[in-house]
């Protein structure tokens, strides 16, 4: 499969915005891709926003982000306190926050939730991403969950076995508050990338996948 270089033609450090409704969403949905991108482009500049959290989960997501991003980019992590499970009812306030992100950071790529995600908080973030970033490449990541709704994303980032192992170890080591949940297991974190790896013939068998609704081509 022809691989597209995400940042080809850029003569400055690439910029990526990561948006997640809850602590661990970004890590789960695109943590492997982020590690691969940082290995290829160590100069990558990151802005990272988690919209809902509490003190315990904020500490966890900051610890995970530090491991994933390193010190310089981890300083750009914002963890907010919007009410968990009620994002549609807080859409006005969340939209105002989106405007402030747009004013401070002009990303080349936005990583966000799947716009048709069956979890209402994820869906709100996906919708407001499209509503706010209107001249940007947007990649929507997927989250395995009780609600179901996994589909067939068409954009793949192959990740090495070593990268996947590192992503899983960061998830398992840092998110202690989630370990009691039945779904929060290494098997879950390996299963979906394995399936997506099959779908893109990934060299080492693993990939993260994204929905991309608009892509402008050149040669
Ligand atoms: Zn979530």
- Mean pLDDT by groups of 10 residues along the chain of 219 residues: 90 97 96 97 96 96 94 91 97 98 97 98 98 97 96 98 98 94 96 98 97 93
CA dist., res. 198 & res. 204, Å (int): 10
Q: What local confidence, expressed as pLDDT, does residue 9 receive?
A: 86
The two beta strands, 45-52 and 15-22, are: parallel
Q: What domains sit in the chain, N to C, each tagged with a CATH number?
A: 15-211 (3.40.50.10320)
Q: What local confidence, expressed as pLDDT, does residue 156 receive?
A: 98
Q: How far is the CA of 2 from the centre of ligand 1 (A)?
A: 32
CA-nearest of 172, 171, 156 to 206 is 156
Q: Give me the residues paired with residue 170 across strands.
A: none
Q: pTM of the entire structure?
A: 0.97
Q: How far is the CA of 17 from the centre of ligand 1 (A)?
A: 17
Q: Which residues surround ligand 1, an ion (CB under 5 A)?
A: 21-22, 25
Q: How far is the CA of 219 from the centre of ligand 1 (A)?
A: 37
């Amino acid at each position: 499969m022809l691989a597209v270089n995400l940042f080809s033609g850029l003569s400055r450090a690439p910029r990526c915005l990561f948006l997640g409704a809850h602590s661990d969403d970004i890590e789960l949905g695109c943590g492997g891709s982020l590690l691969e991108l940082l290995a290829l482009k160590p100069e990558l500049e990151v802005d990272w926003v988690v919209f809902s959290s509490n003190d315990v989960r904020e500490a966890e997501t900051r610890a995970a982000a530090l491991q994933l991003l390193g010190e310089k980019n981890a300083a750009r992590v914002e963890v907010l306190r919007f009410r968990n499970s009620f994002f549609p009812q807080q859409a006005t306030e969340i939209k105002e926050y989106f405007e402030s992100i747009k004013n401070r950071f002009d990303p080349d790529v936005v990583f966000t939730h799947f716009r048709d995600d069956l979890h209402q908080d994820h869906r709100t973030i996906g919708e407001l991403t499209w509503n706010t970033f209107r001249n940007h490449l947007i990649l929507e990541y997927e989250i395995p969950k009780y609600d179901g709704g996994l589909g067939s994303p068409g954009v793949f980032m192959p990740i090495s076995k070593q990268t996947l192992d590192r992503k899983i170890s960061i998830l398992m080591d840092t998110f202690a508050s989630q370990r009691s949940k039945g779904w929060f297991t290494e098997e879950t974190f390996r299963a979906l990338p394995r399936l997506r790896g099959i779908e893109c013939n990934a060299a080492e068998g693993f990939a993260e996948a994204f929905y991309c609704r608009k892509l402008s081509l050149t040669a």
